[in-house]
């Protein structure tokens, strides 16, 4: 085969891969009877039936970011900052099970986003370099690697303000990382999100406990759809080698699903349980 034809094949495969990466669009809405708009909402776009909404909804934007959790905490009147509760963790990312690498990297992403404004330079750099290592393990590609190198260099050279970094790390965690097509498969993104969410839930449960404002817990921690999403990924889409951390994660998510699905308000005991269980997973990483 000539080099020209080989190039043609390679480029064709690459471009086809780019298009193949995008999920297929939903078909045009079926002629369902339109849902009744809430009072005062004039109809404009065709109304979609609940069955269509449920059947076609994608989970890509389902999970709140750790910074969003912090915003909700403040709105709930809890003055504790999650960044003050973030621990310096040594997460082992040199493990065989890549699900575990993704979850661990997600935890680090949450930590760096939450602490970006006030963390000492060396802590920030260490977390970003650990994320960079995790991304390499997951086959995140050169764009994310170069971006992280650039951010680290600018932090080390005092060439970027913390305010600018807030925006850059939001973009990194909320836009760039989720849109990467990882060599290690589609389950990487939800597992990264699961790690970030677990860390956020652990910190929020600590903040709620410290503040004693247990009546705010429902608004901050009752997210059964999020837990189900992660549980489905970990259990149904499995395929990685058995791992004690992932086994613990499954047990924890199963328990969290039960707690967050309660129709009654979360109790102090529930918050304690959420804290202990999320912490137990995080401690194993």
Partner 1 sequence: MRTLTRAAITLLALSTFGTVTVSVALADQDEADTCVRSKVWEAYPEGWAVRTITKSSLAETEHRIYLLTLYAGNEYKFLGCGDTTLTNVDLVLYDADGRMLVQDQTEDRQPEVSFRPTATDTFYLAVHAAKLAEGTEVGRKASVSTAVTYR
Quick check: 242 binds partner 1 (CB under 8 A)? no
Q: Site mask, partner 1, residues 66-105, x = CB under 8 A?
A: -xxx-xx--xx-----------------------------
**Residue closer to partner 1, measured from CB, 33 or 242:** 33
- Report yes or no: 21 and 180 within 8 Å, Cβ to Cβ: no
CA distance 105 to 102: 5
Shortest Å distance, C-beta 224 to partner 1: 8
Q: Site mask, partner 1, residues 248-277, x = CB under 8 A?
A: ------------------------------
**Residue closer to partner 1, measured from CB, 55 or 242:** 55
- Write out the binding residues for partner 1, residues 167-226 only, by CB under 8 A: 167, 170-171, 174-175, 178-179, 218-220, 222-223, 225-226
Quick check: 156 binds partner 1 (CB under 8 A)? no
Quick check: 47 binds partner 1 (CB under 8 A)? yes
Instruction: Name the segment binding partner 1 (CB under 8 A); options: 12-20, 122-130, 238-246, 247-255.
Output: 12-20
**Residue closer to partner 1, measured from CB, 171 or 258:** 171
Query: How far are the Cα atoms of 7, 95, 181 from residue 137, in angstroms, in the given order?
Result: 28, 9, 13
**Residue closer to partner 1, measured from CB, 126 or 166:** 166
Sign of the torsion angle spanned by Cα atoms 190, 193, 195, 200: negative
Quick check: 37 binds partner 1 (CB under 8 A)? yes
Quick check: 62 binds partner 1 (CB under 8 A)? yes
Burial 108-125 (b: 16+ CB within 10 A, else e): bbbbbbbbbeebeeeebb
Burial 83-98 (b: 16+ CB within 10 A, else e): bebbeebebebebeeb
Query: How far are the Cα atoms of 13, 19, 170, 202, 236 from residue 24, in angstroms, in the given order?
Result: 18, 10, 27, 35, 22
Q: Give the CA radius of gyration of the chain.
A: 21
Can you tell me which of 26, 118, 235, 283 binds partner 1, judged by CB under 8 A?
Answer: 26
Quick check: 61 binds partner 1 (CB under 8 A)? yes
Quick check: 147 binds partner 1 (CB under 8 A)? yes
CA distance 265 to 218: 6
- Report yes or no: 204 and 73 within 8 Å, Cβ to Cβ: yes
CA distance 124 to 130: 10
Q: Which of 164, 169, 129 is nearest to 145 (CA)?
A: 129
Binding site for partner 1 (CB under 8 A): 7-8, 11-12, 14-15, 18-19, 22-23, 25-29, 35-38, 41-50, 52-53, 56-65, 67-69, 71-72, 75-76, 143, 146-147, 166-167, 170-171, 174-175, 178-179, 218-220, 222-223, 225-226
């Amino acid at each position: 085969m000539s080099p020209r034809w080989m190039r043609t094949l390679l480029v064709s495969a690459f471009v086809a891969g780019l298009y193949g990466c995008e999920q297929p669009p939903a078909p045009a809405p079926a002629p369902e009877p339109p849902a009744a708009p809430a009072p005062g909402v004039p109809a404009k776009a065709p109304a979609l039936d609940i069955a269509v909404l449920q059947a076609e909804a994608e989970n890509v934007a389902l999970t709140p970011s750790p910074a969003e959790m912090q915003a909700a905490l403040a709105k709930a009147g809890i003055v504790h900052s999650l960044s003050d509760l973030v621990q310096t963790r040594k997460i082992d990312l040199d493990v065989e099970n890549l699900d575990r690498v993704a979850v661990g990297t997600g935890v680090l992403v949450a930590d760096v986003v939450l602490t970006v404004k006030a963390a000492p330079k060396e802590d920030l750099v260490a977390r970003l370099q650990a994320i960079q290592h995790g991304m390499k393990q997951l086959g995140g590609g050169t764009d994310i690697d170069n971006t992280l190198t650039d951010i680290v260099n600018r932090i080390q050279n005092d060439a970027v303000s913390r305010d600018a970094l807030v925006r850059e790390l939001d973009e990194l965690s909320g836009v760039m990382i989720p849109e990467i097509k990882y060599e290690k498969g589609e389950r990487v993104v939800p597992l990264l999100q699961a790690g970030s969410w677990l860390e956020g839930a652990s910190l929020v449960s600590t903040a709620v406990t410290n503040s004693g404002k247990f009546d705010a817990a429902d608004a901050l921690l009752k997210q059964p759809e999020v837990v189900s999403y992660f549980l489905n990924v970990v259990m149904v889409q499995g395929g990685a080698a058995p791992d004690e951390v992932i086994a613990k994660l499954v047990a924890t998510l199963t328990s969290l699903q039960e707690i967050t699905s309660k129709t009654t308000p979360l109790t102090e005991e529930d918050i304690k349980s959420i804290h202990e269980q999320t912490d137990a997973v995080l401690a194993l990483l």
